[in-house]
């Protein structure tokens, strides 16, 4: 399960340590896919995702790649588990998939960036796992700390695709129209597993979900 670390004994601000790529080593985390993020100002450590989770991410990326092959002018590129520095709110995320413009991608590659900024990201994709699903979703009434849903909206990420594998949900939701002041999305559209996700303009990408399954309850 995900663990929220208290940071009273750290040798510095956790966000600054994350930006300098020092936080994981200071926490002595294993190099086995374990992720460390700063979410709502807290250190959140979660185990690496399972195979079914990773396949969903790959299939979303494949859908973008298929359009790229068919249309040479298609402007979108995908990258998995790319560090995203939300410097405005001192959070640091590792989205399952980032969709960025090809020219932005080219510039980031030339600059040898290790972390990208929200202004470079057109679409963020998160696929939930049992250990940390609450960190990806719109927070419920009892949650005090902001989630990634809040953070993405607060920094103005225009499109956030959340694939929720919880058996009670088993759906993908595209959140749009971020309200930066409230840290919330004002619009959304959803697809149940088995339906085809149709991402609207500016992406115009269809993503089949026939083989997607919820996690084992």
CATH topology of domain 49-207: tt1808, chain A (3.90.1570)
Averaged pLDDT, 4-18: 79
Q: What pLDDT was estimated at residue 31?
A: 83
User: Which of 3-17, 65-79, 109-123, 154-168 bottoms out in mean pLDDT, i.e. has the lowest?
Assistant: 3-17
| Residue 121 pLDDT greater than 70, yes or no | yes
Phi first, then psi: give them for residue 192, nearest 5 degrees.
Answer: -75, 155
Beta bridge mates, 193: 195
Say if CB 114 and CB 21 are below 8 A apart.
Answer: yes
Tell me the backbone φ, ψ of residue 18, rounded to 5 degrees: -65, -45
Query: pLDDT > 70: what percent of the chain?
Result: 96
pLDDT on residue 129: 95
pTM of the model: 0.95
Mean pLDDT of the chain: 94
Query: At 207, which helix (H) or strand (E)?
Result: strand 205-207
Q: What is the pLDDT of residue 189?
A: 98
Band of pLDDT at residue 10, cut at 50, 70 and 90: confident
């Amino acid at each position: 399960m995900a663990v929220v670390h208290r940071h009273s004994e750290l040798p510095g601000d956790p966000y600054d340590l994350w930006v300098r790529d020092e936080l994981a080593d200071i926490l002595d985390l294993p190099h086995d896919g374990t992720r460390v993020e700063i979410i709502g100002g807290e250190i959140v450590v979660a185990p690496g995702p399972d195979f079914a989770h990773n396949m969903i991410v790959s299939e979303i990326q494949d859908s973008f790649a298929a359009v790229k092959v068919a249309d040479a002018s298609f402007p979108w590129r995908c990258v998995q588990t790319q560090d995203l520095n939300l410097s405005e709110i001192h959070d640091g995320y590792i989205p399952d998939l980032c969709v960025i413009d090809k020219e932005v991608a080219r510039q980031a590659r030339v600059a040898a960036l290790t972390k990208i900024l929200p202004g470079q990201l057109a679409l963020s994709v998160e696929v939930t796992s049992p250990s940390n699903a609450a960190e990806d979703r719109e927070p419920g009434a009892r949650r005090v700390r902001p989630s990634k849903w809040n953070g993405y909206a607060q920094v103005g990420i225009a499109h956030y695709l959340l694939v929720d594998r919880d058996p009670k949900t088993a759906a993908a939701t595209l959140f749009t129209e971020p309200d930066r002041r409230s840290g919330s999305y004002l619009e959304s559209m959803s697809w149940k597993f088995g339906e085809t996700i149709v991402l609207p303009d500016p992406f115009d990408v269809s993503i089949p979900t026939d083989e997607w399954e919820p996690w084992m309850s």
